[in-house]
Amino acid sequence: MTLLQEPMAIFAFCAGVCAVVFWLTMQGWAQKFFSVIPSIIFIYYLPTFATTFGVIPSASPLYDWMRDYLLPFSLFILMVTADIPAIVKIGPKALVMMLAGTLGVVIGGPLALLIFQQSLPADAWKGLAALSGSWIGGGANFVAIKESVGAPDSMMGPIIIVDTAVGYTWTGVLLFLANYQRIVDRWNGASSEVILDINQRLKDFEETQVTPISLPATAITIAIGFIGAYLCRELGAWFYEFSNPLLHEVAPRVAAVFSRFTWMVIFISTFGILLSFTRIREIEKAGASKLGYAALFLFLTSIGAKADLSLILRAPILLLVGVVWIMFHIAILFIAARIVRAPMFLIAIGSQANIGGAASAPIVAAAYYESMAPVGLLMGVLGYLVGNYAALICAFLLRVAAG
Could you please report the per-residue DSSP string of 321-355? HHHHHHHHHHHHHHHHHHHHT--HHHHHHHHHHHH
| Predicted confidence (pLDDT) at residue 217 exceeds the cutoff of 50 | yes
> Which range, 30-44, 144-158, 221-235, 341-355, has the best average confidence (pLDDT)?
221-235
What are the residue boundaries of the structural domains of the chain, listed by start?
Answer: 7-402
Q: Report the candidate in 177, 199, 129 with the shortest Cα–Cα distance to residue 337.
A: 177
* Pairwise pLDDT comparison (124 vs 228), residue with the higher score: 228
CATH topology of domain 7-402: Na+/H+ antiporter like fold (1.20.1530)
Kindly list the distances between the CA atom of residue 90 and the CA atoms of 159, 220, 293, 403, in Å, as whole numbers in the listed order.
36, 31, 21, 43
Look over the chain and give the mean of its residue pLDDT values, rounded to a whole number.
84
* Structure confidence at residue 19 (pLDDT): 96
* Structure confidence at residue 160 (pLDDT): 79
pLDDT per residue over 193-208, tens digit each? 767 776 766 666 555 5
How many whole angstroms separate alpha carbon 72 and alpha carbon 377?
11
Residues in Cβ contact with 311 at an 8 Å cutoff, skipping those fewer than 6 apart: 58, 161, 164, 165
How many whole angstroms separate alpha carbon 24 and alpha carbon 378?
32
Residue type, 224: I
* 221-229 mean pLDDT: 95
Other Cβ atoms closer than 10 A to 53: 13
Residue type, 359: A
Residue type, 250: V
How many whole angstroms separate alpha carbon 120 and alpha carbon 122?
7
* Structure confidence at residue 383 (pLDDT): 78
| Predicted confidence (pLDDT) at residue 386 exceeds the cutoff of 70 | yes
* Structure confidence at residue 73 (pLDDT): 94
How many whole angstroms separate alpha carbon 99 and alpha carbon 336?
10
* Structure confidence at residue 107 (pLDDT): 95
